[in-house]
Amino acid sequence: MANADPRALQNFDGTDKAVFRALDDDPRVPVLFLAQRLGLARGTVQARLERKMAANCLRPNSTRITPDSLGLPISALVTAEVEQSSLAAAVEALSGIPEIIEVYGMAGEADLAIRVVAKDTEDLFRLGQQITDCAGIRRTTTSLLLKKLVPYRISQLLHD
């Protein structure tokens, strides 16, 4: 996801926060029901959602699909050290691996944090090899993610 427009972040008013708190609780609620629940016009809610979507403030809808439902119950975090001159090539190569669902640039010992999903440990081993074979990747470390203890959340940041 591209970086959010800083002006959009500064312009979260009380109505925006109410809309996004409600969506955090139930991301599938139809706009009409959301507007009714909040006592707002449907057009107001729709316009605010469209503005924040255009400013890259909203996560894509596809994040609602769980890897488990696709037969990929194993999650792991792979950290990678990258030849600095090959960072763009490494990221491009990693983008071509379907089981990689997120890649973050990092500060510290590792250069990249790569979240992967796999069908089993053999598949995870294959992915590790595939990542290591990408241009510019020098070394990787894999940590198995056992259980999500705190789910993705944002409501606690939307205080007045």
CATH number for position 94: 3.30.70.920
* pLDDT over 70 (residue 63): no
Between 61 and 32, residue with greater pLDDT: 32
Q: How far apart are CA 124 and CA 120, in angstroms?
A: 6
Q: Model confidence over 130-156: pLDDT tens digits?
A: 999 999 999 999 999 999 999 888 878
Mean per-residue pLDDT over the chain, rounded:
88
Per-residue pLDDT at 139: 96
Does the predicted TM-score (pTM) go above 0.85? no
Q: How far apart are CA 96 and CA 49, in angstroms?
A: 31
Domain with 54 in it? 6-63
Per-residue pLDDT at 72: 94
Name residue, tokens 């993705």: 152
Last residue of a domain, one of 63, 82, 109: 63
Please say whether the beta carbons of 114 and 100 come within 8 A: yes
Among 9-13, 14-18, 61-65, 83-87, top mean pLDDT goes to 83-87
Residues in the chain: 160
Is 43 in the same domain as 78?
Answer: no
Is 57 in the same domain as 92?
Answer: no
Please say whether the beta carbons of 142 and 124 come within 8 A: yes
Per-residue pLDDT at 151: 84
Going by pLDDT thresholds of 50, 70 and 90, the confidence category of residue 1 is very low
Per-residue pLDDT at 152: 82
